[in-house]
Amino acid sequence: MRDITERKRAEEELRASEEKWRATVENAPVGVGITDMDGKFLSMNQAYCDMLGYSFDELRNLTFDEITHHDDRERSREEFGTLLKGDSGSVEFEKRYIRKDGSTVNALQKGGIVRDTAGNPVLVIGISQDITGRKRAEEEIKRHAKRAEALHTVAHAVSQTLDLDDMLSNTMDTVTGVMEVDVANVYLLDEGTGELILTTHKGVSNEFIASMSILKLDQEEIEKLRQWKEPTIALERALNQPNLARITQAVQNEGLQSRIVVPLWLKGVVSGAIALACRYPRQYSAEEIALLQAVSNEIGMGIENAQLLERTRELSVTDELTELYNRRHFYQALEAEIDRAQRYGHAFCLAILDLDSFKEYNDRFGHLNGDAVLRSLARTLKSALRKSDMAFRYGGDEFTIILPVTEAYRARKIVDRISSKWLETPKSDNLILEAHLGFSAGIAQFPQDAGTADGLVFLADTALYHSKRQGGYKSSLVSDLGAVTLGVLDSAMLDHVYALAATVDARDPYTYGHSERVAYISETIGRAIGLSMDELVNLHAAALLHDIGKVGVPDSILTKPGRLTEDEWRVMGRHPVEGARIVGHVTELAALVPMIRHHHEWYDGTGYPDRLKGEDIPLGARIISIADAYDTMTTQRPYRDTVSEEEALEELRRCSGTQFDLELVRAFCGIVEEHNKRKIRVGG
């Protein structure tokens, strides 16, 4: 006989422990399931069955894989593989189950493996906590946050730009994302034409755009829309049958199943609509409609601001007297036409018109009659020009015309036709008391004559000046300037030179006055080395225009406060060649061209653009090079401090023989030092 009291006690304790564990599992608020290594259910508690909607016996006939959502099965297998490898004692991850009724339940899954004494895996124990409610709340919070962010983004887009197209495009990008729709269109009502115009579109085909770009409304439809008060527009109540049928057909062709139309209000009146649509069935919640209304209100304010800006712009670019575009808008339009011509590779012309003897006319007949003349000429320009042409009042009695896709010979015919029509205008129409005033014109062609706006204006103005010198009442091309031989520059031509030099200085506040200082220094050096009066006149003019090629350098480079990049230096380095090209069109300025082109050559042959060396560099260019460098060193620049006069002279001496002509540097240094001695003697 053996005493088995201890063994029986142990068995009772084990039985009690098992019952306690089973009771704990059965009454646990979370689901507990046990499967074999093939994923077949062996046991589970009631909470597990309730969570999935299956009975105990039904689950015994299923595997863990079968009740897992198909999109989460791969992840579940990967976690199970991690357990098998022994990399982790347990795993925790979120997954979705498929309930018996086909619905989905989100669960936080925790799992572990039971191994035998040999370490082999025999069972998998999983604990599943239903977190569907929590996930739903999280998703709702995300949706709220996403919609709030969308409204903020729309408000930001509206406040950041007054460009209507950009504003509408940006807001519709946001709306399609947050509303999870396929299509977003904006229609604006043009009351003048009675048309709903497709202004912005997202997610539709070209065929849809072609068929639905304009909806012609009758007066009844316009009134219904403008008086609409409901948060969404019921098209069947707002539109007549032909328009409704047209929309229905286009929607069907596009494969759209669900759509919603929200009115756009401007100052309390419907002036357009936002139309959203999906290619699958869906409902739009009250919250989504409220969001669309808020977006619509923001867009309405943006449209109102854009329209106000457009009206302000029209006033700011229009000459009040003639109702033509003004000088400010002329330069904007000229730059835009240059960009367009470069993009498409075509030429265009600029014409400048100036009334002959207009001052005398004003003095004789008074400004009221003079204003009537200007208005009459403006009307003639509008009626005689093509739709693509643009006319501007440039200032006083000067007018400019931009003639797209037009060569110079054709431009002259257009200008001459305008002149003939102007002279045939009845006197009573413009209050002219005696004979009509004629006008002179100058015409420049892009890019053959000049490649920049300022270059075109200068050359057209010079051609106009040529017409005036020939007696007026005629038009001249830049090519006609070759017939002029004046020799030394006269005062009128010097006025052109000064005006053109000022356009360069005015673009860069840090170098304002640079051209005149360089001209003064250059002329001083020229006098010291004994240049003739004609040579001094040309040297002074060339120094004034030495940087004229910078009219073709973008402001972002020309006014950059820091040092230029290598690419920016290449752009800047082209200005001597461009300057020589601009000036070279004018015979009176021909002597200036070599000095302008070569003022950045170095004495040792390492300069640009042609690497000329020594005395092969024109004398005037060598002088301007020294004057330019000296003024640059002694004038404040944003990216460096100035140097003293003595330091600048020392730098010139140090670079003599390499960058600068040694003898010219000696002459200039002697001038400065002698000037300083005289100041000391006078002061003493």
- The predicted structure's pLDDT at residue 292: 79
* Residue range(s) defining the domain that contains residue 417: 321-482
- Residues 627, 497 share a domain: yes
Note the pTM of the prediction, 2 decimals.
0.41
Check: CB of residue 378 under 8 Å from CB of residue 322. yes
- Residues 659, 516 share a domain: yes
Q: pLDDT category, 265, cuts 50, 70, 90? A: confident
Q: What is the 3-state secondary structure (H, E, C) of 398-462?
A: EEEEEEECCCHHHHHHHHHHHHHHHHCCCHHHHCCCCCCCCEEEEEEEECCCCCCHHHHHHHHHH
Residue 597 phi/psi, 5-degree rounding, is: -65, -35
- Indicate whether 264 pLDDT > 70: yes
- The predicted structure's pLDDT at residue 234: 87
- Residues 154, 297 share a domain: yes
Check: CB of residue 123 under 8 Å from CB of residue 39. no
The alpha carbon torsion through 132, 137, 138, 140 (nearest 10 deg) reads 120
DSSP, res 640: B
* Average pLDDT score, the chain: 82
Higher pLDDT, 191 or 161: 191
- The predicted structure's pLDDT at residue 456: 84
- Indicate whether 438 pLDDT > 70: yes
546-587 pLDDT, tens digit per residue, is 888 887 777 777 777 777 888 888 888 888 998 898 888 776
Q: pLDDT category, 157, cuts 50, 70, 90? A: low
- Write down which residue in 463, 482, 501 finishes a domain: 482
Looking at residues 172-188, what average pLDDT do you find?
Answer: 83
Q: pLDDT category, 460, cuts 50, 70, 90? A: confident
- Indicate whether 137 pLDDT > 70: yes
581-624 pLDDT, tens digit per residue, is 888 877 667 889 999 999 999 999 999 999 999 999 999 999 99
As for how many domains the chain has, the answer is: 4
- The predicted structure's pLDDT at residue 350: 96
Please calculate the CA angle 252-254-256 and round it to the nearest 5 degrees. 70
Range of lowest pLDDT (296-310, 353-367, 470-484)? 296-310
- Residues 497, 543 share a domain: yes
CATH code of the domain containing 369: 3.30.70.270
Neighbours of 486 (CB within 10 A): 11
Looking at residues 118-143, what average pLDDT do you find?
Answer: 80
- Residues 489, 478 share a domain: no
Q: Please state the separation of Cα 161 from the chain's center in Å.
A: 11
Looking at residues 410-415, what average pLDDT do you find?
Answer: 94
- Residues 365, 405 share a domain: yes
- Residues 347, 470 share a domain: yes
- Residue 611 gets the label, from left (phi > 0), alpha (psi -120 to 50) or beta, of left
CATH code of the domain containing 560: 1.10.3210.10
- The predicted structure's pLDDT at residue 544: 86
Provide the H-helix boundaries in 70-131.
73-85
- The predicted structure's pLDDT at residue 295: 76
Q: Strand, coil or helix: what is 31?
A: strand
Which of 116, 100, 97, 99 is closest to 108 using CA atoms? 97
- Residues 231, 125 share a domain: no
Provide the H-helix boundaries in 161-228.
164-179, 206-212, 219-226
- Residues 607, 537 share a domain: yes
Which of 409, 421, 403, 423 is closest to 352 using CA atoms? 403
Instruction: Kindly tell me the number of DSSP H helices and DSSP E strands found in the chain.
Output: 27, 15
- Indicate whether 635 pLDDT > 60: yes
Q: pLDDT category, 400, cuts 50, 70, 90? A: very high
Looking at residues 7-21, what average pLDDT do you find?
Answer: 61
Which of 26, 33, 20 is closest to 111 using CA atoms? 33
- Residues 398, 301 share a domain: no
Looking at residues 430-439, what average pLDDT do you find?
Answer: 61
- The predicted structure's pLDDT at residue 640: 59
Q: pLDDT category, 127, cuts 50, 70, 90? A: confident
Higher pLDDT, 387 or 291: 387
Instruction: Return the residue matching tokens 């920016």.
Output: 568
Which of 23, 100, 21, 102 is closest to 61 using CA atoms? 100
- Indicate whether 683 pLDDT > 50: no
Q: Which of 5-9, 52-56, 160-164, 412-416 is predicted most confidently? A: 412-416
CATH code of the domain containing 198: 3.30.450.40
The Cα-based distances of 639 to 489, 506, 553, 625, 633 in angstroms read: 38, 19, 19, 21, 12
266-318 pLDDT, tens digit per residue, is 777 888 888 889 998 888 888 778 877 777 777 777 777 666 666 666 667 78
Looking at residues 347-354, what average pLDDT do you find?
Answer: 95
- The predicted structure's pLDDT at residue 675: 74
- Write down which residue in 428, 453, 482 finishes a domain: 482
- Residues 544, 673 share a domain: yes
Q: pLDDT category, 15, cuts 50, 70, 90? A: low
Question: What's the CA gap between 628 and 632, in Å, rounded?
Answer: 6
Q: Which of 40-49, 246-255, 463-472 is predicted most confidently? A: 246-255
Cβ burial 16-47 (10 Å sphere, 16+ → b, else e): eeeeeeeeebeeeebbbbbbeeebebebbbeb
Amino acid at 137: A
Looking at residues 106-130, what average pLDDT do you find?
Answer: 85
Looking at residues 168-193, what average pLDDT do you find?
Answer: 82
Biggest alpha carbon distance in the chain?
153
- The predicted structure's pLDDT at residue 433: 47
Could you tell me what percent of the chain has a pLDDT over 70? 82
Neighbours of 463 (CB within 10 A): 29
* Bridge partners of residue 195, in order along the sequence: 190, 216
- Write down which residue in 298, 314, 330 finishes a domain: 314
- Indicate whether 482 pLDDT > 70: no
Check: CB of residue 249 under 8 Å from CB of residue 261. no
Range of lowest pLDDT (107-111, 484-488, 547-551)? 484-488
- Residues 243, 114 share a domain: no
The Cα-based distances of 445 to 122, 364, 433, 552, 654 in angstroms read: 91, 37, 37, 16, 46
> 64 burial class (0-12, 13-18, 19+ CB within 10 angstroms)?
buried
Could you tell me what percent of the chain has a pLDDT over 90? 21
Q: Does 509 sit behind a cis peptide bond, omega within 30 degrees of 0 on the bond before it?
A: no
The Cα-based distances of 644 to 373, 632, 673, 677 in angstroms read: 57, 12, 13, 17
Looking at residues 353-379, what average pLDDT do you find?
Answer: 88
